[in-house]
C-alpha cells in the first residue's frame, strides 16, 4: 500500500448547491468513505441581497471542501463548472494538498494525526505532497464577461491590525472604500465583532456574510479516523488540518462585489521574509500560509479574470512587518487601533471582548504595541499580561519571522542582539526579489497614496542581496 493510499480516508468529496437566491447560498457537502458517507449542509447568509447562478453558488461552497482533499481520491463539483473553474480548483487542490502534507503531517507543530499516518522520511516526496486528487465537474459551464462598474475596493475586515490599517489607509485615499466581514458561527467571530459593530455604527458600505463553515470543519475533523481526537480537542494556535481559509472569504465576497461595483478584495497580507521560507526535504512550500501570499493573490486574480469577472485580490501592507503595521495603526489611526482584537481565544467579560494575553498571537501583538510606544491596556490587555510578557515569550514557540522576533526582543531589552544592524530591515519597506519598484503589487490608483502614508513611518527601503537585506536607494 502506498502512502497516499494509506491516508486516503475518502473516496469522493462532492459539492452540491441546493439553493441560491435572495440572501443565501446553501448546499450539501458529502464525503464518501468505504463504509459510510459524511454529510453536511453548508450555509452562507448575506446581509445584502445577492443574485448568483448555480456556478457561482457552487464555487462558494467548494472552497471549504478543498481543505480536506489530500485525504480524498476525488473532488466532484456537482454543478456546472467552466474549464477555468476546473483548472483553477485543480491547482488549488494541488497546492493545498502540499501545504497540508508538509505543514500538518511532516513538519508538525502539534501531533494532530495518529502516529501510524505520519510520513516516514522516505514518504516525504513531491508526488506524495501533491496528492492524487482528481477534480471533475458534473457539466460544462460557459463563462461570460461580467463587467463590474465602479472602481472601489473592499477590505476583508477583522479585528486584526493588518485589516484595520488597510481600511484606514484606503478610506483615507478613497472614501467609497467598502468593508467585508465574514462571520463564522463559532467563537472566532469574537475577534471581529468589536470592529464590525464600530464600523456599522460609523461607516457606510459595510457588508457581512454569516456561515456555518467552521461547524463544517469541526464535523469533518471529529469524524476523521486519521486524527487523534484527544489532541484536536486541545486549545492550540493552529488548526488540525484546514489551511485553505482566505479563499473561502474571497470567493464568498464575489456576489457582493458584483452587486455593489467592488473591483477588488484587499487582504491584510503582511511581510513574510523569504529568507525564512526554505524548502522542506527539497520541496518548496508556503509554510501553511499560501492563502496569505502574493502568489495566491495573483493566482486568484488571474482565475477570476479568466472567468470574465473584473475583480482583483491584493494587499496594501505586504512589504512591511507586523511591527511597522502596528506602529502606523497606533500613531495614525488610534480610533481603529482601539478596535484591535488579534486573538483567536477572545472572551466576553462584562460586555467587552477581551484577548487572552497568553497565546503566541497575543504575545506578538504585545511586543509590537510596546515597541511602538503604545498602551496595550487600550485594547484590553491586562497588566499581568504586560508584566509577564518577557517570561511568556521565552517559553512560547513564537510564530514570527526570525529577524522580526529578534528585532522585537532586542528593542524591548529581552535580548542583546550582536547583529542588530542586520535586523534593521524589520523597521523598513521591503523590495521583494521579484519587484523592480516598491509596492509594485499595489494597483496604480492606490500605489502613490499607500506609499505616501507608509513612508512617513518606514522611510528606509531594503532589498535582498547576497543572502541578506540591505538598505537600497531604489524607489
SS (H, E, C) 339-367: CCCCCCCCEEECCEEECCCCCHHHHHHHH
- What are the cell numbers at 117? 499516518
Q: Kindly state the percentage of the chain with pLDDT values over 90.
A: 88
Residue 256 pLDDT greater than 90, yes or no:
yes
How far lies 222's CA from each of 53, 112, 229, 251, in Å? Answer: 32, 12, 7, 26
**pLDDT the model gives residue 416:** 85
Residue 339 above 90 pLDDT? yes
pLDDT greater at residue 393 or residue 344: 393
DSSP-derived pairing of the beta strands 468-472 and 352-354:
unpaired
Query: Does pLDDT of 421 surpass 80?
Result: no
Q: What is the model's pLDDT at position 356?
A: 94
3-state secondary structure of 29: strand
Residues 6+ apart with CB under 8 A from 288: 99, 102, 103, 104, 238, 243
- Whether the per-residue pLDDT at 418 is higher than 70: the answer is no
pLDDT for 201-247, tens place per residue? 999 999 999 999 999 999 999 999 999 999 998 888 789 999 999 99
pLDDT for 474 beyond 90: no
The CA-based angle 13-14-19, given to 5 degrees, is 145
pLDDT at 188: 79
Question: What is the per-residue pLDDT for 150?
Answer: 76
Residue 419 has pLDDT above 70, yes or no: no
Q: Are 82 and 36 in contact (CB under 8 A)?
A: no
- 158: CB partners within 8 A, 6+ apart: 181, 191, 192, 195, 268
Check residue 315 and report its DSSP letter.
E
**Beta-strand pair 12-21/429-431:** unpaired
C-alpha cell at 261: 461595483
What pLDDT is recorded for position 76?
Answer: 98
Q: Given this model, what pLDDT does residue 420 score?
A: 75
Domain definitions of the chain by residue range: 3-154+184-315, 334-472
Antiparallel, parallel or unpaired: β 37-46 and 206-211: antiparallel
- Across residues 320-324, what is the average pLDDT? 97
Highest mean pLDDT among 241-245, 341-345, 399-403: 241-245
The pLDDT of residue 417 is 72
**Mind listing the pLDDT tens digit for each residue in 422-463?**
899 999 999 999 899 999 999 999 999 999 999 999 999 999
Question: Do the Cβ atoms of 281 and 407 come closer than 8 Å?
Answer: no
Look at residue 404 and tell me whether its pLDDT is greater than 80.
Answer: yes
Residue among 287, 249, 294 at smallest CA distance from 271: 294
The mean per-residue pLDDT over the stretch 89-97 comes to 98
Each residue of 262-285: b (16+ CB within 10 Å) or e? bbbbbbbbbbbbeeeeeebeebeb
Give pLDDT, residue 126: 97
Instruction: Report whether 52 contacts 113 (CB < 8 A).
Output: no
Helix H or strand E encompassing 40: strand 37-46
Amino acid at each position: 500500500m502506498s502512502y497516499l493510499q494509506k491516508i486516503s480516508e475518502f473516496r469522493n468529496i462532492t459539492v452540491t448547491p441546493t439553493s441560491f437566491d435572495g440572501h443565501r447560498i446553501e448546499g450539501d457537502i458529502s464525503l464518501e468513505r468505504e463504509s459510510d458517507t459524511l454529510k453536511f449542509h453548508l450555509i452562507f447568509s448575506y446581509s445584502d441581497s445577492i443574485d448568483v447562478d448555480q456556478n457561482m453558488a457552487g464555487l462558494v461552497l467548494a472552497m471549504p471542501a478543498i481543505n480536506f482533499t489530500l485525504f480524498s481520491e476525488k473532488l466532484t463539483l456537482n454543478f456546472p463548472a467552466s474549464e477555468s473553474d476546473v483548472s483553477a480548483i485543480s491547482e488549488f487542490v494541488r497546492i493545498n494538498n502540499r501545504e497540508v502534507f508538509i505543514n500538518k503531517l511532516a513538519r508538525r507543530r502539534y501531533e494532530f494525526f495518529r502516529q501510524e499516518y505520519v510520513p516516514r522520511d522516505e514518504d516525504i516526496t513531491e508526488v506524495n505532497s501533491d496528492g492524487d486528487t482528481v477534480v471533475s465537474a458534473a457539466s460544462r459551464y460557459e463563462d461570460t464577461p461580467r463587467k463590474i462598474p465602479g472602481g472601489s475596493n473592499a477590505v476583508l475586515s477583522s479585528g486584526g491590525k493588518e485589516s484595520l490599517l488597510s481600511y484606514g489607509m484606503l478610506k483615507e485615499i478613497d472614501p467609497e472604500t467598502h468593508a467585508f466581514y465574514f462571520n463564522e458561527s463559532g467563537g472566532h467571530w469574537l475577534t471581529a465583532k468589536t470592529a464590525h459593530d464600530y464600523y456599522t455604527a460609523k461607516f457606510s458600505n459595510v457588508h457581512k456574510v454569516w456561515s456555518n463553515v467552521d461547524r463544517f470543519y469541526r464535523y469533518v475533523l471529529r469524524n476523521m479516523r486519521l486524527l487523534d481526537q484527544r489532541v484536536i480537542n486541545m486549545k492550540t494556535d493552529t488548526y488540525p488540518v484546514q489551511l485553505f481559509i482566505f479563499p473561502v472569504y474571497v470567493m464568498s465576497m464575489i456576489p457582493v462585489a458584483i452587486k455593489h461595483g467592488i473591483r477588488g478584495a484587499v487582504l491584510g497580507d503582511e511581510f513574510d521574509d523569504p529568507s525564512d521560507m526554505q524548502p522542506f526535504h527539497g520541496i518548496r512550500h508556503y509554510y501553511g500560509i499560501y492563502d496569505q501570499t502574493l502568489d495566491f493573490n495573483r493566482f486568484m486574480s488571474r482565475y477570476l479574470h479568466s472567468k470574465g469577472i473584473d475583480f482583483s485580490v491584493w494587499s496594501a501592507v505586504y512589504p512591511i512587518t507586523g511591527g511597522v503595521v502596528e506602529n502606523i495603526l497606533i500613531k495614525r489611526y488610534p480610533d481603529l487601533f482601539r478596535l484591535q482584537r488579534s486573538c483567536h481565544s477572545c472572551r466576553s467579560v462584562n460586555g467587552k471582548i477581551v484577548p487572552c494575553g497568553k497565546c503566541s498571537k497575543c504575545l506578538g501583538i504585545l511586543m509590537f504595541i510596546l515597541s511602538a510606544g503604545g498602551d496595550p491596556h487600550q485594547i484590553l490587555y491586562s497588566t499581568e499580561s504586560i508584566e509577564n510578557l518577557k517570561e511568556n515569550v521565552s517559553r512560547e514557540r513564537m510564530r514570527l519571522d526570525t529577524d522580526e522576533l529578534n528585532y522585537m526582543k532586542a528593542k524591548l531589552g529581552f535580548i542583546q542582539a550582536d547583529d542588530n544592524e542586520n535586523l534593521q530591515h524589520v523597521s523598513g519597506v521591503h523590495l521583494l526579489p521579484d519587484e523592480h519598484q516598491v509596492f509594485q503589487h499595489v494597483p496604480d490608483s492606490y500605489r502613490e497614496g499607500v506609499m505616501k502614508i507608509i513612508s512617513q513611518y518606514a522611510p528606509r527601503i531594503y532589498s535582498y542581496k547576497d543572502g541578506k537585506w540591505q538598505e537600497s536607494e531604489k524607489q
